[in-house]
Structure 1
Amino acid sequence: MTDNDKTQVFRRAAERGGTRSFTRSAPDDEDRRETRMFERGGGPAGTPAEAEEPEGPARARRRRHPVRRFVLWTIALLLLVALLIPGGTWVAIWYTARLDDRPPSDAIIVLGASQFNGTPSQIFQARLEHAAELYESGVADQIVTVGGSQPGDLFTEAGSGRDWLVETGVPETSITALDVGSDTLQSIQAVSEVFTERGWSTAIIVTDPWHSLRSRVIAGDYGIDAVTSPTRSGPAVWSRETQINYITRETGALIYYRIFGTSTDVAIDAV
């Protein structure tokens, strides 16, 4: 065999699982030498095994990476949830605002809004007009108005609503006025007590479109099987800017309620 021929040399450790060295020499005119090292595992002879990486800084860094990746994925997941919950709630409020359900029910619930010396505000009047329409259509033979008063008021929201409905032709015997409640939660709590006393279970809630979902959720939590038939007129739906503001504030109010189970201090106009 000449010097230019390739030479292969094999060295095998005495024990299985040792190191096998494979050396291949290049011809003399090529100034290079190539050596390949293979680690054989503890299995039977001839079983291929993966090479074991030498201990060093790179390998140590890779051992720390799983913890780092876990932390990063956890942070990313929390950020995703923080974005999805408000976004999903915003869309749900927008979607529910477009629903108009009118099944036969035990009563129509009109949530109160501002009144001025016994005269319903424009937003409140829009709700009362819609409730009167539902009553005339025969979906329920009882209307419940609810809402208390502000300090210094001589009239309550519920009483003002009842008087307005009576003036428009709804029999007073078909109206129950609950003069309590300064927010949605307190109002629904008062209504639920009347429903329990009278054996009612189903209701149509009349309020502004953007307030529909939160009202329905709270009513469900207090045992009322409620649907919503929101108003389609009044200041609450006059402009796109107003609608976006209402939806955004209702998003915060609903998330707050779902987390803490109480009303939020975020001001929601006319609610």
Structure 2
Amino acid sequence: MAWVGRVVGAVLAAAVLLVASTGLAIWWTARQDARPQSDAIVVLGSAQYNGVPSSIFEARLEHALRLYEEGVAPVVVTVGGKAAGDAFTEAEAGRDYLAQAGVPADGLLAVPQGVDTLESMRAVATTLTDRGWSSVVLVTDPWHAMRAERMAEDAGLAATSSPTRQGPAVQTRATQFRYILRETAAYLLYRTTGESVAGAPGIG
């Protein structure tokens, strides 16, 4: 029965290698910053409070604003629905924030759908495809970038990411490590089942 032990050991080793390589890929993607000329900048939603973006969401919006001002894309797309009882969607809160920051109305597009990244990416893909747009730069937290890119590509978009370097998600090494672990599990779940996962703020 020694072969049983060898098989079990091989399976465990493969599982450890898969988890480790996925975590390393998430870390590597988080360190990249791709901002090619694109049809749209897409800001992944996060919590908002009566129309006021949370600190995580604000960091993403500020980064998207800088990309817009640099001419990366002519339109900033905000995306995200709302929880029960909310008066505003994440997409509306983000759009209004950017409007107040000086982005003109024709440079903003709100897609008020999605309770997690997968739903949001599918809603954005449908909306942009209807307009003949396909290339996007995604703005989210660094550790979320790889999964967001994969979901956008699976939805039919040509996606790159320019993660924000500010906000609670990047404050401490402990926070970063926790997010990488969570994203590793979430990415593997998506690749295995095609489903999303909710939990940590703004990165379901």
- TM (norm. structure 2) is 0.96
Alignment of 1:221-260 (within 5 A): 221-260=154-193
Alpha carbons 1:109, 1:204 under 8 Å: kept: yes
Alpha carbons 1:162, 1:172 under 8 Å: kept: no
Cα deviation code 1:77-132 (max 9, x no counterpart): 21111101111111111110000001100100000000000000111000000001
- The equivalent residue for 1:270 is 202
Residues 1:162 and 2:95 aligned together? yes
Structure exhibiting the larger radius of gyration computed from Cα positions: 1
- The equivalent residue for 1:126 is 59
Deviation at 1:73, TM superposition (A): 3.1
SS of 2:138's partner is strand
- The one-letter code of the counterpart of 1:234 is G
- Unmatched runs of 5 consecutive residues or more in structure 1: 1-67
- The one-letter code of the counterpart of 1:186 is E
Q: For residues 164 and 72 of structure 1, what CA distance do their matches in structure 2 show?
A: 58
Deviation at 1:264, TM superposition (A): 2.2
Q: For residues 270 and 178 of structure 1, what CA distance do their matches in structure 2 show?
A: 16
SS of 1:263's partner is coil
Q: For residues 145 and 264 of structure 1, what CA distance do their matches in structure 2 show?
A: 20
- The one-letter code of the counterpart of 1:208 is D
Alpha carbons 1:135, 1:142 under 8 Å: kept: yes
- Unmatched runs of 5 consecutive residues or more in structure 2: none
Cα deviation code 1:20-42 (max 9, x no counterpart): xxxxxxxxxxxxxxxxxxxxxxx
Deviating runs (4+, > 4 A) in structure 1? none
State the Cα RMSD in Å: 1.0
Deviation at 1:133, TM superposition (A): 0.4
Q: For residues 130 and 22 of structure 2, what CA distance do their matches in structure 1 show?
A: 33
- The equivalent residue for 1:201 is 134
- The equivalent residue for 2:17 is 84
- The one-letter code of the counterpart of 1:153 is D
**What percent of counterpart residues are identical?**
51
- The one-letter code of the counterpart of 2:176 is Q
Alignment of 1:60-79 (within 5 A): 68=1, 70-79=3-12
- The one-letter code of the counterpart of 2:200 is I
Equivalent in 73, 76, 94 of residue 140 of structure 1:
73
SS of 1:112's partner is coil
